[in-house]
Structure 1
């Protein structure tokens, strides 16, 4: 990425001086524009009213038409800055422009717009030298960098909020690829079109709809014109389903590479997830998706973009939605605020319809358990429509991948086994997977349910055994408190269970089959409710 600071190092800029806007030196430069007409007239108003954001360009001028009008100079500076310009290079100081007024310097400082002056009273400096030098540097930079998504996203994110829209995004992509960009909606109607160069607008728009229909699944179509041909190409699919969009490129006399098309799609998709409210403002959800999908290339790009060290993320919270298939943005904001106050590093986003939080958790189990307990005490009641699972000790993204899909497959079973637990842990999900597999085998299910068959006729015995083993971690005191009876009553019932089943709830070897039996029984009852 070429910045204003890089431009200042070019040979053609030797002797140039920065008068204002030092804060904008790190802004990227992607084009150069020459300012010729500067009078504040209806003509200038008309020119600006029809001009959209053009990207991060440097303006070269001598203010020749308004050399004696400081107000007009400042007004031009404001208008070009609003269109995305990053700086002005002033030529012929002392020859055409008498001097740089302090009001111009103050205006540029206020806008963080870099103001550069070429050496004064020198006639040999040419616009063409600077323009050629800058474009050569931009071209070399683009050739050297195969991945342009991170650069474009970073530049886009630094724009003022009012400029972060679909039109600006496509213009930025178009300028980089030097190709026209077409975005269609799920009905295949043209939603946005940006032409490069803009002089192709009439030619491209003429038969575009017909050419799009002609593609019919083809990845590229050659369109012949009198003096050459252009190539209409389909980028990889962006968003599936009803709200899906399709992205196309059109480049004159040249095909774009498959890698360029993939990155174009990725750029637009990131925009749709991060900034576009109409498509769901799912901040960093693409990085969450890359981690769970265990996609190292995409993960590396996005982690660099969001400045997150993925290797530190050793804990994952999953909020599995029980009754909704749509992302809940209120939940996203609420959890972002809550967990950001707990963890030093936290990543919040969506994977499909489930919210996922990755965090850098403490090393000790005691500290991690305390965080979970605080969440239960402070916030768990707000998430009754979600199955909440907290997975610890994730050493790799493959661990996160496996943990997430285990949760997706077995969390509902774990919830039916442990209905009182507000936050499930990996051991709960793992035990639920064992029970689900045993229950899926008819012979195994019959075997385990037969163990507790003789106490089903005495409801208080089955209730006590279930509460003792599943809800209160084999604590007689807690079981007695929950069932509102004396601890001696619990002792009596546990002895009665041993007498009737032949299995002792207090012996480790006997506990396992009893656990499986009462868990399968709960799962069965939950299905029948």
Structure 2
């Protein structure tokens, strides 16, 4: 049997457990199991999710003890685990530490197809080791019985979040499956990707490169790796009857079997075709992908080729059409239009400039210091050009990104929360990264449930009026004034097609009811957030 969540749930250690939610994910393959005990969301975000490498296919054991009474934090954990490709969570000690499993947690797991398994309640004699040993035994048996792992890994990758579907993820999965280190190089033996086994192994690339080049194509050579015997297999990757890349497989203590070598090579070739079709070419789109995926080796190689100072990049623009066309070829045509307009405006205005299409967006990287004009003026120029060409698109401005990791996190945030930001700032064609992150915060509040929403909206409840029409007018004016017009009365009047005096009168009425000016800090922060949440709720 395959080691799916459903099949593993039939193991003796899990027979008394109950699948509470996420039945849509029972078909997912489990490749490993781990324990999550300290479940503080901020710590997870900073110390685990942002810094660790995830390859998906993992099921997690936890009692969520330190957040046993915090349903919001429990939901946040489920969402984060699902985002990085985990397949499910086995809950222990419900009824002892965690009083019960809240319905919100169940609903979220169902929404994400994230399997939520509850071990027998009110039982203190449950042991993690029983589940860990039986699950790992089933996984090892499945791997031994099914030595052809190509289809399994391709399927696992296909279920990962889009940002993790790439060649490096496949290399990590192969490394975990076969306990080997892998190097992928171009024709000149420049390393594109590498994964070490174990991950903590400190490989000296300079020393290894000489050994890589010495290994003849198609042969296995014996080498020394940290005073240990190891076997290095050199596999040239061939397309169109030409060698395009080189794959090196390194295994310590014993050589890798010919069959497993063949499967690994086949899988890497397929992944290059599927997820990185131009990996063997020096093209600008690869540099964009390397930056967004935070692939240092690939990034350095491509940057050197293009003579681009990647370290100087601290600004990113993301231009994304508002609606995807259903007509064949039109979506790509619109992207090309956006690309041409952007290049025309920014060319010769930045010392470092990288522009290309990526997924459904056009991505721009630039260095702030060498821009000869104000960045806001350039953004306005691009917005006007898009409007004149009847292209409905949103421009997201991400400034002061100190590292390529910051760039990647910014792009992931834009991909995740662009639609919510558009709902909140519905009159804006330019958004900032801060507004994107603000949209995520507001959406988290909406997802948290009625109690949290009610608490956040209490400020604008003060604007209640006997005349329902007047109440609606006041709320609409407040939303436009704060969210769309940057507290500018003339801009608010223009957006609402009203006279400035009408806006002034409504603002005065709101200030009287609130007992403070609507622009007073820090009170305006609560009003701003409440208006944003109200707009999100209108789309539910």
TM-score normalised by structure 1 residue count: 0.50
TM-score normalised by structure 2 residue count: 0.49
